[in-house]
Amino acid sequence: MQVRGIPDDTYCKLAQRAAEAQVTVPDYLRRLAERDASRPTVTEWIDHTRRRGGPVRKSNVVQALDELRGPWPADADR
């Protein structure tokens, strides 16, 4: 996949973040894409939480999101 037209300042920020994560820019972008694709869409999340029923509490929302999203990439490397 090629991404064209990324502004220089955006690419520089991505390169800095990749360097902080000690990976290449393509690997960093791959991780971002994998994380995004593994998360539910807003519609999927709403459907999932509606099926659970009962009162909606902040702790229930956070728990449901954690279950659906899985670990963050930084947590997965540990």
Take residue 50 and report the two structure tokens written for it: 């509606």
Alpha carbons 68 and 40: distance in angstroms, whole number: 7
pLDDT at 50: 79
Do 17 and 55 contact (CB within 8 A), yes or no? no
Counting as low any pLDDT under 70, the low residues of the chain are: 53-54, 73-78
pLDDT at 76: 54
pLDDT at 13: 97
pTM, full prediction: 0.57
pLDDT at 22: 96
Q: Which amino acid is at 61?
A: V
What is the largest distance, in Å, between two alpha-carbon atoms of the chain? Answer: 49
